[in-house]
Amino acid sequence: MLPILFAFCTFCSTFLGGLFSLRYRKKMHLILGFTSGVLLAVVSFDILPEIISLVGRLHMEPIQPMLALVVGFLLFHILEKLLLIHHSHEQEYVAHTHPSVGKLSALALSAHSFLDGVGIGLGFQVSAPIGILVALAVISHDFSDGLNTVSLVLVHKNTDRTALYFLLLDAVTPTLGVLSTLLVRIPDTVLVLYLGFFAGFLLYIGASDILPEAHSKHSSVGTILMTIAGVLFIFLVTRVV
């Protein structure tokens, strides 16, 4: 019962983060600044340390997850540019946004949320205390996951309803991840490569997509401070929880 209970808490945390983003859309430049800091910090303080730990334990070549990182970065870059090129054939002028890019980003974040749920389930398979610690860490940053999902969907000119659909998907996937651990376990070698791939994706959307958009119309000291706040928030979450 405990894994399911904590999975429900991740749903609530994610959904509240998304609703916050919808409610304060007029401050989207500040939210996007915060989001870019969160994504940078998740890669730096959460994903890469986990990769380093797993690589050492599995005696893998570090180049393998780093290749996966580059593939993740370039793959999303290529997909985004192809969508924009296609869209530009339909209009004489096109801004650096496209609804499909936002949806693709939201789907990728939902896949990561699924693995968050897997992490909770596997933690409880080891022991209840470890499972609780993992669950608390996931719940703490899932508010940002919901915020990130809605921000990405909205900034690429999707509707509120579309943003809400993808928020629900992102909120549900951790619960599905927990349930999946009752049936199957992801091999650590596969997990390392996935983490590298996802780190590349986050670096791309954070530095090349979200941060430039945050400063495109409302560049300010406040936006910069929100980016720093996003970095500090995840740093504290990963260190304290």
Residue range 66-119, pLDDT digits in tens: 999 999 899 878 876 776 554 444 444 344 556 777 788 788 778 878 877 887
What is the residue extent of each domain of the chain? 2-240
- State if pTM tops 0.85: no
- What would the mean pLDDT of 190-196 be, rounded to a whole number? 84
Residues 6+ positions from 206 with CB-CB distance below 8 Å: 35, 36, 39, 40, 43
46 SS3 class: helix
Mean pLDDT of the chain: 81
Count CB-CB contacts under 10 A for residue 239.
8
Task: Select the more confidently predicted residue: 176 or 155.
Answer: 176
- What would the mean pLDDT of 152-167 be, rounded to a whole number? 86
What's the pLDDT score for residue 90? 42
What's the pLDDT score for residue 94? 42
DSSP code for 25: G
Task: Select the more confidently predicted residue: 82 or 198.
Answer: 198
Count CB-CB contacts under 10 A for residue 209.
24
Residue 137 has pLDDT above 60, yes or no: yes
- What would the mean pLDDT of 186-211 be, rounded to a whole number? 81
- What would the mean pLDDT of 19-48 be, rounded to a whole number? 83
Could you give the CA distance from residue 185 to residue 178 in angstroms, rounded to a whole number?
A: 11
Residue 231 has pLDDT above 80, yes or no: yes
What's the pLDDT score for residue 115? 78
Burial 156-167 (b: 16+ CB within 10 A, else e): bebeeebbbebb
Distance of CA 84 to the CA centre of its chain: 22
What's the pLDDT score for residue 117? 84
**CB contact at 8 A, 76 and 201:** yes
Residue 174 has pLDDT above 80, yes or no: yes
Residue 28 has pLDDT above 90, yes or no: no
Could you give the CA distance from residue 162 to residue 140 in angstroms, rounded to a whole number?
A: 25
Give the confidence band of 191 by pLDDT, cuts at 50, 70, 90: confident
Q: Which of 43-52, 179-188, 194-203 has the lowest mean pLDDT?
A: 179-188
Residue 27 has pLDDT above 60, yes or no: yes
